[in-house]
Amino acid sequence: MNMVVCGSLLSYHSLPRLLKPQRPALWCKKQFCVRGSVNKPDAEEPRRIMIRKENEGWKIDFSGEKPTTPLLDTVNYPAHLKNLSTQDLEQLAAELRADIVYSVAETGGHLSSSLGVVELTVALHHVFSTPEDKIIWDVGHQAYPHKILTGRRSRMHTMRKTSGLAGFPKRDESVHDAFGAGHSSTSISAGLGMAVARDLLGNNNNVVSVIGDGAMTAGQAYEAMNNAGFLDSNLIIVLNDNRQVSLPTATLDGPASPVGALSSALTKLQASTNFRKLREAAKSFTKQIGGQTYEVAARLDEYARGMISGSGSTFFEELGLYYIGPVDGHNIEDLVTIFQKVKAMPVQGPVLIHIVTEKGRGYSPAEAAVDKMHGVVKFDPATGKQHKPESPTLPYTRYFAESLIKEAEDDDKIVAIHAAMGGGTGLNYFEKKFPDRCFDVGIAEQHAVTFAAGLATEGLKPFCAIYSTFLQRGYDQVIHDVDLQKLPVRFAMDRAGLVGADGPTHCGAFDITYMACLPNMVIMAPSDEAELMHMVATAAAIDDRPSCFRFPRGNGIGAVLPPNNKGTPLEIGKGRILTEGNRLAILGYGSMVQQCLEAAHMLRTQDIYVTVADARFCKPLDTELIRQLASEHEILITVEEGSIGGFGSHVSHFLSLTGILDGPLKLRSMMLPDRYIEHGSPKDQIEEAGLSSRHISATVLSLLGKPKEALHFKP
Amino acid sequence: MRCAYGLAIPASDTRFFTPEPFLRLPRPGSGNPSRISIGSFRIKAKINEARKETSFYELLGIAESGTLLEIKQAYKQLARKYHPDVSPPDQVEENTERFIQVQEAYETLSDPRSRAIYDRDLSMGLHLAFSARRRSQYHERSEWKNRWQSQLSELKRRSMNKDAKGNLSWGAQVRRQREEASKKP
């Protein structure tokens, strides 16, 4: 029978001898608590030990069922970590790893980033006390161990599901989540704000911001560090360097070489350049031995002091942060020592602790994978093989990439730019074909947009592939550098509309609104993958002004693709009518057109025939089509998967300006509601937003005076 | 103690990397002067060796700007050529050694990180075998520990004086004000 004594090492095979607790926690002496696991007395097999300590570290056996986690079971809140010894913390880290792997294997989500920070999380919660102390996780996809240790372990199976845990820290979810995250590089800014507030209010807590090397490529991190150095408020910044620098979506062939100058700087920090200086000094020392040793020794001392106070840490020191590191990010003892020492100092000012970790550490399929299993769907823990659902069609992203490649084959002026999202935007495929014409600028959307503008001034045709939500970061550049100067930059906005499990932080709700209000921009949205290919061609052809098109997350609907994936440019400002009907017209924009067609299909069973049109363009609007629909129907409904101020607003503005609204026409606009839609499955989100085909049919029926018929349609 | 470049620092001892003991290094006439001179001799020999050897790129027969694909192809070709199982019996020894070198070259150059470090060394005129670096990585970690321990002590020293009157930063001013406020009865 296996027995576990609180606060000591896991059991051995050779029982029934009682375990010797190695280093019992102090409080354990008073109450000797033994948790025995129930085994049938005549059990044939001895219980397998899944998590064992070996010489170099803890080994977890992933080949079977989820292992028992006796120590982790005792931890529900960070307070429970305080009394554990270093040995226990290491065991806890191993159990936490196992828990994360098995949990993410069930739900999908972000795996390897969490695995890389297990030791860091354990050390932070051991030394600091949330919620009084604040721990801010940048981006937040590595916060799974944090969530487990702060009372949400029992809900981990609901991760990223409707009404379940969010995939990122969320202030509404727990007091231990100090700041919501999702976009990167905000942690230092937020942390500085909390630190300054603490100073003004006269409080005494600690503030820790954890940021990765990838997130460091964004300008906001520098803005924050610069300000932190200037204000000199006590703040601890942990730079979690897993040497990916640029999201590890990798190229198709292997890991991408680090992006930019930042990575070489970080490499230098890790590769002991200072020791080179020291060695040269040592060489000259040996030459002069026998001579003026005092002076030589003093010179060496100077070198050494310069080296030790972290002057080899380049820009961090220049910005006013005290640099400590590099530190082995998987050594709990080291981490705890450093955090305790820094916490205990009377006044620290801003301190940057540079830890080096390995992404996916402790789970060999992740360590070996090209993309390190950064974002995964359900997988098998024993092998790491993901259960990717079979689908007859490819994602929209892929269709975009293929058609862009086709355009680029014919026109060598076409170049593509993305911001550290080669895999997410599909531009990895483009890069494979045209490695010189694909630019990954790191997590720097602002730079990406102006960079594209610069390319456009010289006659190139830049395609900026940035997610709808991330383009928000570069909005001023879109207005000031691209639109104002009327430069022909093409924006391909992926993940437009609701995005499912990632939630509101990644939702592309606002792009129609923020793009359509710009005077020179051409705005289009395809209703299916074939239209997408045509719009890529259209955008490539628009050479006198900026243009953009948006497409959603998800797979195509199975439309017939143009031959050879080569689209043909559409006539600008012309939509199309898909089905004809009477009395009522539905004008859809973008992928919502599919929902409109479904609604029309449902309504036929009620003997109602509606016209469905695909607007294709939000700017310039197909005014002829709208006039025609307005004159031939009593009621016009516009549908879009965007916030207020988008397509519907432009249509109603047009109708009012032209005086059509003075007439008998009834106008209704369906759009995303004026609130954030929580994460969940795409189906649930559409239902929540009120934009499913059922909702559209219900709207039609109520406008036609038959509200009760809507109950015929089952959700 | 060996540091990253495989050079031995005379009076090889871990105390060397903390500030004070500089002044405690063995003076001439005390300690083991012979050990020191042998050490420097070894340094020179190692450097000469490192300078003469062919670089990994030359070994694989590709340009220094070679892509990952080219490296893979060159490696596969050479591996097939020099594998001990397929070499004629009289050349087995030499070929095995070559094979191991090719293997090392591939390992270093196929990983962008280690390739970056290797390229940097190369530009400084030093070619060092991967195995030497691997051995040094372990020592690198213990060097890291020494380094951050010293950084911590320096920070502690600085933090004693951080809020002295001279420091005009916003943080220092607010902290001083708070101190004074808390001292009032």
Contact A104, A111 (CB under 8 A): yes
What's the CA gap between A494 and A400, in Å, rounded? 9
Of A275-289, A657-671, B85-99, B166-180, the poorest mean pLDDT is in A275-289
CA–CA distance from A477 to each of A331, A445, A484, A621, A645 (Å)?
43, 9, 10, 25, 21
Q: Which amino acid is at B100?
A: I
Residues A353-393: tens digit of each pLDDT: 999 999 999 998 888 887 888 889 999 998 888 888 889 99
**Which of chain A's residues have a Cβ under 8 Å away from the Cβ of B19?**
301, 304-305, 308
CA–CA distance from A637 to each of A507, A589, A627, B142 (Å)?
24, 11, 13, 69
pLDDT at A91: 93
What's the CA gap between A475 and A461, in Å, rounded? 20
Average pLDDT over residues A252-259: 47
Three-class secondary structure of residue A695 per DSSP? helix
Q: Does A351 touch chain B (CB under 8 A)?
A: yes
Contact B71, B57 (CB under 8 A): no
Residues A534-555: tens digit of each pLDDT: 999 999 999 999 999 999 999 9
Residue A519 burial class via C-beta count within 10 angstroms: exposed 0-12, middle 13-18, buried 19 and up: exposed
pLDDT at B47: 53
Q: Is the pLDDT of residue B67 over 90?
A: no
What's the CA gap between A424 and A418, in Å, rounded? 10
Whether A473 is a known active-site residue: answer yes
How much of chain B, in percent, has pLDDT values that exceed 70? 58
pLDDT at A495: 96
pLDDT at A136: 96
Please, which pLDDT band fits residue B46 given cuts at 50, 70 and 90?
Answer: low
Chain B 12-41, residues with CB within 8 Å of chain A CB atoms: 17-19, 22-23, 25, 27-28, 33, 36, 39-40
Q: Is the pLDDT of residue A327 over 80?
A: yes
Average pLDDT over residues A451-456: 97
For β-strands A611-614 and A576-579, DSSP reports them as antiparallel
Degrees, nearest 5: CA angle A654-A658-A662: 105
- Find the CB nearest B3 among A256, A279, A348: A279
pLDDT at A410: 95
Chain A 212-251, residues with CB within 8 Å of chain B CB atoms: 230-234, 243
Q: Is the pLDDT of residue A16 over 50?
A: no
Contacts of A653 (CB under 8 A, 6+ apart): none
Q: How far apart are the first and last CA of chain B?
A: 57
Please, which pLDDT band fits residue A216 given cuts at 50, 70 and 90?
Answer: confident
Q: Which residue has the higher pLDDT, A311 or A88?
A: A88
Query: Bridge partners of A611?
Result: A585
**Which of chain A's residues have a Cβ under 8 Å away from the Cβ of B43?**
283
What's the CA gap between A279 and B4, in Å, rounded? 11
φ/ψ of residue A456, rounded to 5: -70, -35
Catalytic pick from A473, A550, A616, A619? A473
Please, which pLDDT band fits residue A599 given cuts at 50, 70 and 90?
Answer: very high
Q: Is the pLDDT of residue A267 over 60?
A: no
pLDDT at A80: 92
Q: Which helix (H) or strand (E) holds A490?
A: strand A490-493
Average pLDDT over residues B137-154: 81
Whether A359 is a known active-site residue: answer yes
What's the CA gap between A52 and A39, in Å, rounded? 20
**Which of chain B's residues have a Cβ under 8 Å away from the Cβ of A253?**
68-69
Q: Is the pLDDT of residue A704 over 80?
A: yes
Cα-trace Rg, chain B: 26
pLDDT at A22: 45
Q: What is the residue-wise DSSP string for B87-104?
A: S-GGGHHHHHHHHHHHHH
Of B24-33, B83-92, B153-162, the poorest mean pLDDT is in B24-33
Residues A125-147: tens digit of each pLDDT: 999 998 999 999 999 999 999 99
Q: Which residue has the higher pLDDT, A432 or A370?
A: A432
**Which of chain A's residues have a Cβ under 8 Å away from the Cβ of B120?**
264, 267, 271
Contacts of A709 (CB under 8 A, 6+ apart): A606, A701
Contact A187, A209 (CB under 8 A): yes
Three-class secondary structure of residue A653 per DSSP? helix
Q: Is the dihedral of CA A142, A145, A149, A155 positive or negative?
A: positive
Three-class secondary structure of residue A197 per DSSP? helix
Q: Which residue has the higher pLDDT, B21 or A170?
A: A170
What's the CA gap between A57 and B143, in Å, rounded? 20
Q: Does B163 touch chain A (CB under 8 A)?
A: yes
pLDDT at B95: 78
Q: Is A320 left (phi over 0), alpha (psi -120 to 50) or beta?
A: left
What's the CA gap between A531 and A570, in Å, rounded? 9
Residues A497-512: tens digit of each pLDDT: 999 999 999 999 999 9
pLDDT at A284: 58
Residues B88-143: tens digit of each pLDDT: 877 777 777 788 778 878 877 877 767 766 776 665 554 555 445 444 556 677 78
Our measurement of the distance from residue A204's CA atom to the centroid of its chain's CA atoms, rounded to an integer in Å, reads 32
Q: Which residue has the higher pLDDT, A616 or B57?
A: A616
pLDDT at A78: 93
Residues A397-431: tens digit of each pLDDT: 999 999 999 999 999 999 999 998 988 999 999 99
Q: Which helix (H) or strand (E) holds B122?
A: helix B112-123
Average pLDDT over residues A229-252: 76
Contacts of A165 (CB under 8 A, 6+ apart): A147, A152, A155, A156, A158, A159, A173
Average pLDDT over residues A482-487: 97
For β-strands A414-418 and A375-376, DSSP reports them as unpaired
- For A257, name the nearest residue in chain B, comparing CA atoms only: B112
Of A100-109, A443-452, B88-97, the poorest mean pLDDT is in B88-97
- For A231, name the nearest residue in chain B, comparing CA atoms only: B170
Contact A336, A126 (CB under 8 A): yes
pLDDT at B139: 67
Which tokens belong to B91? Answer: 């050349």
Average pLDDT over residues B56-77: 81
Contact A491, A466 (CB under 8 A): yes
Residues A2-15: tens digit of each pLDDT: 444 444 444 444 44
Please, which pLDDT band fits residue A42 given cuts at 50, 70 and 90?
Answer: very low
Average pLDDT over residues A457-467: 97
**Which of chain B's residues have a Cβ under 8 Å away from the Cβ of A286?**
10, 36, 39-40
Q: Which helix (H) or strand (E) holds A332?
A: helix A332-344
A51-59 contacts, C-beta under 8 A, 24 or more apart: A51/A10, A51/A91, A51/A94, A51/A95, A51/A98, A52/A10, A53/A9, A53/A10, A53/A90, A53/A91, A53/A94, A57/A90, A58/A90, A58/A91, A58/A93, A58/A94, A58/A362
Q: What is the ipTM of this complex?
A: 0.71
Q: Does A497 touch chain B (CB under 8 A)?
A: no
Q: Which of A388, A443, A387, A404 is nearest to A420 (CA)?
A: A443
pLDDT at B48: 53
Residues A624-671: tens digit of each pLDDT: 999 999 999 999 999 999 999 999 999 999 999 999 999 999 999 999
Average pLDDT over residues B21-34: 40
Q: Is the pLDDT of residue A43 over 50?
A: no
Shortest distance between the Cα of A545 and any Cα of chain B, in A, equals 37
DSSP state of A480: I
Our measurement of the distance from residue A530's CA atom to the centroid of its chain's CA atoms, rounded to an integer in Å, reads 28
DSSP state of A202: T
Q: Where does A409-475 show beta strands of DSSP type E?
A: 414-418, 438-440, 461-465
Average pLDDT over residues A686-707: 93
Number of Cβ within 10 Å of residue B181's Cβ equals 9
Please judge whether A279 and B7 are an interchain contact, meaning their C-beta atoms are less than 8 angstroms apart.
yes
Query: Bridge partners of A353?
Result: A238, A324
Query: Bridge partners of A262?
Result: none
- For B143, name the nearest residue in chain A, comparing CA atoms only: A272
Predicted TM-score (pTM) of the model is: 0.75
φ/ψ of residue B56, rounded to 5: -60, -35
Q: Which amino acid is at B177?
A: Q
Average pLDDT, chain A: 85
